Amino acid sequence: TLGVIKSVRVVCDTIVMLSRRAGSLMAPVRATSRRLASSKIMYTHTDEAPALATYAFLPVARRMAKWADIELELADISVAGRILGAFADVLPPEQRKPDTLGELGKLAKTAEANIVKLPNVSASVPQLVEAVAELQAKGFALPDFVQSPSTAAEKDAYKRYATVLGSAVNPVLREGNSDRRVAPPVKAYAQKNPHRLGKWKPESRTRVAHMEEGDFYSSEQSHVQGPAAGSVRIELVKSDGSIEVLKPEVKLEAGEVIDSTRMDVAKLRAFYEAALQQAKSEGMMVSLHLKATMMKISDPILFGHAVTVFFKDLVDPTTEAGKAVAAAGFNPNNGLGDLYDRMEAMSAPDKAAVQKAIDACYASRPGLAMVDSARGITNLHVPSDVIIDASMPCVVRDSGKMWNKEDALEDVICIIPDRCYATMYEACLQDCRKNGQFDVSTMGSVSNVGLMAKKAEEYGSHDKTFELPCAGKVQVVDNQSHEVVMAHDVAAGDIWRMCQTKDAPIRDWVRLPPP
């Protein structure tokens, strides 16, 4: 909240400065606006801190924009708004909300589009379940979110709810690439008013633990579509020779790049176990850093494997506790919090056995980084509680430490399985250990020039990500020539995914000027 207030103060200070000169500045703007059609800016309403900032800043922005005959229209893309929009055709008339995200998606493809997109929640399954329950409690006639649907109605509801999960907003609105550069006044303010950063010590034991083989990084393949458009299909060739079509058609434009990779789950679990044992032997705390929100198919699975490895004695099906956990329908992909919710319906003996097993796991395993020490919420309670691009900067900020169960900062082994980004974070930690904490008052800045237009790379991977039901080979086949263009041997439970990136976004990304 303090960060939001500080950000709003910066913006408001700038507006006050501009307001003093408004008399001379706005006259030509008004003259121009009379010659043009009235302009409109879509300003998105989201959740949490950005929503708080909106309440503080939007009225000021509207007042300023009014002088130039520019309207700022609020567009609700909050989690609740998107849920209601997904069921607009089945809710009672008085409860219906428009599909605002869909409308903004159409607008984003026009030359007239002006959309201010605030940070939004990429909802995890636990967050979605809570949001649905809250809306139902408010009287909205929404169906339950059934994670294993069986009836036609449940499958229809699941399909609608799935559009809200994960990174549902960015792929729709980001028709262009990301070009984020720090404005000079913002950087000057930050240098003059540096935020708190903890000191680093050379003897810090904090480090990143990552896989050395079997991760997404180790197995990526790519293919470039030829000069003509076409399509490919994704198949699973099973060990008995039978073929299951995972996706019959992925349309490709001329020059489009596709890439595929797989995570070896057996090696992932072995890595988790080795990292936990190493941490225990060193007396180190551990934390898991993934992005189970944006990577809504793959990363919850990675998270679930971490949960079942850490609590392997708890989920052992031969034990009394393991049988109770299985009977309760516990889904480790949703975190330990899912089990605690289900324990409320257990018999007293089962509940006691499960809690005893949980406590035994805590005693035999290394300490877990905490999200909320006072409430006992650990790093493994909810998959969306620790998101890597927010959590790792906090580790750097807090002297290479995270909070332990005693509510004190402690050195930590940061478990980041995939080397696609783990090694970058390790380099940051090594730099701080060697050279000390970053100095905001003198350091440079990083320009974020991201390749993401038209669902590029992982932004479009969700419908091409699969948890394999059996061993075999996943292959990508050209539908025109029937040539196999990419293939991976897989085992049951492995995660396979494919991305696609169109030619135009790549060319635009390369064209963007350097910092």
Chunked mean pLDDT (size 10), the chain, 515 residues? 48 45 40 49 94 94 92 95 94 93 92 90 91 96 92 94 88 84 92 94 97 97 97 97 98 97 99 98 98 92 98 97 97 96 96 98 98 95 93 96 97 98 96 95 88 88 96 98 98 98 93 81
Could you tell me what percentage of the chain is helix, strand and coil, using 3-state DSSP and rounding each to the nearest 5? 45, 20, 35
As a whole number of angstroms, the distance between CA 398 and CA 401 comes to 5
Residues in the chain: 515
Q: What's the confidence (pLDDT) of residue 515?
A: 67
Global pTM reads 0.85
As a whole number of angstroms, the distance between CA 258 and CA 345 comes to 47
Per-residue H/E/C for 90-138: CCCHHHCCCCHHHHHHHHCCCCCCCEECCCCCCECHHHHHHHHHHHHHC
Q: Name the token pair of 8.
A: 């709003």
Helix or strand run (H / E) with residue 488: strand 484-490
Domain ranges of the chain: 2-175, 197-215+265-386, 216-264+387-515
**DSSP characters for 254-279?**
TT-EEEEEEE-HHHHHHHHHHHHHHH
- As a whole number of Å, the end-to-end CA separation of the chain is 31
* SS3 state at 170: helix
DSSP 8-state code for residue 387: B
DSSP 8-state code for residue 378: E
* Buried b / exposed e along 66-100 (16+ C-beta atoms within 10 A): ebeebebeebbbbbbbbbbbbbeeebeeebebebb
By the 10 Å C-beta count (0-12 exposed, 13-18 middle, 19+ buried), 107 is classed as: middle
As a whole number of angstroms, the distance between CA 192 and CA 278 comes to 43
Name beta bridge partners: 230: 252
Radius of gyration of the chain (CA): 25
How far from the centroid of its chain's Cα atoms is residue 171's Cα?
A: 12
How far from the centroid of its chain's Cα atoms is residue 194's Cα?
A: 28
